[in-house]
Amino acid sequence: MPDTIRDNTDLHRFELDVNGTTAIVTYRLTGDTITLLHTEVPKALEGQGIGSRLARGVLDIVRARHLKADVRCSFLKAWIGRHPDYADIMKP
């Protein structure tokens, strides 16, 4: 079953709830470009692959919305480097 990533537009962040805590990716949307700023996984969830689940879910949303991603977050940059199948949505 795929993860349910929530787009909290009021706080400009994507959210993934796991075991009563929330992992997030903050963003800024300008036209057809989404700037992914920061990924945060609570300490209690570290080492469980939550960041990867969140990254994949967020990038799938970006693709489905036909946006281009400007990735500023070092975690997401590294993750995308290991998953070149998302290169098509990266802003040149």
Give me the residues paired with residue 27 across strands: 36
Convert the pLDDT of each residue in 41-63 to its tens digit: 999 999 999 999 999 999 999 99
- Dihedral over alpha carbons 37, 43, 81, 87 (to 10 degrees): -50
Per the listing, tokens 């959210």 go with 15
- Give the pLDDT of residue 3: 76
Band of residue 34 on the pLDDT scale cut at 50, 70, 90? very high
Q: Which residues contact 81 (CB under 8 A, 6 or more apart)?
A: none
Which CATH number fits the domain 6-89, given the four candidates 3.40.50.300, 3.60.15.10, 3.40.50.720, 3.40.630.30? 3.40.630.30
Domain ranges of the chain: 6-89
2 pLDDT band (50/70/90 cuts)?
low
Q: In the predicted model, what is the mean pLDDT of residues 56-75?
A: 97
Confidence band of 92 (pLDDT split at 50, 70, 90):
confident
Instruction: Decide: 58 and 14 in contact? Cβ < 8 Å.
Output: yes
What pLDDT was estimated at residue 51? 96
